Structure 1
């Protein structure tokens, strides 16, 4: 009788050990799944922060599992392919843009043909829409937000097209990287913002463009389209961009 009780105790203990082993196997398997998920989440977060400019580009490898690792350099290639920088606006114009935006580009190029030929205006199709770049040399006094009197005819033709449409417009001021400090402006931030704001005020007050369609932004020297190590490159960077936003695409963060 005592032997039977002992046997039953041994069997029960063995069952308990088996269940405990199975429990730890499940925990281990779960930890491997979580590790993979955490790895993928880390990649996603790092890519997102890279796109927002929070972290600098890194070649750190982030393991997804014990047997799988993706070098961040490979992730960065994909991420960069989805981004639109100011430089890419002009060297890689967007292909396959919906015809309404292409029509806007064609209309603007026709109206501003002389200015484009003189290289004081550039019209480009981008991911965001159509960008009309007005170079400082043709539209603003040097180091000032005052517009040149000679630019009125060009602005008249540009504004007539903008007023006839309904897309949102973002007016961007840009400078080169040479610091400015005069009686009115302490920095390129102030100069670029003031030029964008003056253009917005002009569109509202003289051309009666709906103010709800307009926004202004100053980027100083940080959204350049050319290198700042030559006089010509700096001249290209000193500009005001009028971005006619494509309504079929979400806006890209600055």
Structure 2
């Protein structure tokens, strides 16, 4: 119902009637003005002042502030100062998903291989870890994957392709130094095994390269003592780490390879 005018009302009285939301917006605009006046960038402050004046005189506060906050000229043909950068809109990557279903799926599908000690699947604070034992997947001192392991790796690739989470391929060795014509040290060997896994996942199974990264740890992250043969066997491995949302947020931003 329209408000009836009372004697003495200003002719433009209704124009200045505002809702609570309008009042809060005006209050916000006031603080924007205060901020503008505190800046040493006078050209940007001028744009802010112009947007505010336009809002108050033309009743277009919302659009004016929207243009202001996005550094878009408020008038056709208006040119932004050269020192005000217009940032491009970046495509957001899919948000990492919960990994417990993958843990259960892999434990079920690869049950025999896990029980035989050929690989291990576990959940850590950073995400899902699939640990591939050297004795099963690589020859001693080499980075060529054993062809007999391809069916297992196909199961793993199929599962990790279902989700957008980043993947880290980490190579590990025992503490016995290696120096061959191909590998100068355990660092070279551990990194080369991670690269071999990346190439297989990308070329044969179609995993997006943009999701994957390589780490070579040599003997610096053991899971068992290097004082025994059994401990050294456990330490020689490649870990496929599918990062959870918390761990992924700490990673450098990567562009998709697609």
Partner of 1:205: 203
Aligned to 2:157: 159
After TM superposition, give the deviation of residue 176 of structure 1 in Å: 0.2
1:133 aligns with 2:131: yes
- 1:116 matches 2:114: yes
Aligned equivalent of 1:219, options 208, 217, 220: 217
Match of 1:14 in 2: none
Distance 2:118 2:183 in 1: 24
Unaligned runs of 5+ in 2: 1-96, 253-258
2:172 aligned partner:
174
Aligned positions, number:
156
**Structure 1 residue runs of 4+, over 4 Å off?**
none
* Residue of structure 2 aligned with 1:142, choices 140, 143, 168: 140
Aligned position for 1:228: 226
Gaps of 5+ in 1: 1-98
Query: Take 2:207 and 2:183, find their aligned partners in 1: how far apart are those partners?
Result: 28
Task: Give the structure-2-normalised TM-score.
Answer: 0.58
Cα-to-partner distance string for 1:202-239 (whole Å, 9 max, x where unaligned): 11111111111000110000011000000000000000
Give TM-score scaled by structure 1 length: 0.59
Alignment check: 8 A CA contact 1:128 1:251 kept: no
Q: Deviations over 1:98-130 (max 9, x none)?
A: x92221211111121111011011111111001
Indicate the RMSD between aligned Cα atoms, in angstroms. Answer: 1.8
Aligned in 2, Cα 1:126/1:144: closer, same or farther, shift over 3 Å? same
Secondary structure of the structure 1 residue equivalent to 2:214: strand
| Cα contact 1:200–1:214 (8 A) shared by 2 | yes
- State the match for 1:106 in structure 2: 104
Q: Is the 8 A contact 1:128 1:252 kept in 2?
A: no
CA contact 1:177–1:228 (8 Å) conserved in 2 = yes
Deviations 1:18-58 (A, max 9, x none): xxxxxxxxxxxxxxxxxxxxxxxxxxxxxxxxxxxxxxxxx
1:252 Cα shift? 8.0
Residue number among 184, 187, 190 corresponding to 2:188 in the alignment: 190
How far apart are the structure 2 equivalents of 1:115 and 1:251? 32
* Partner SS for 2:227: coil
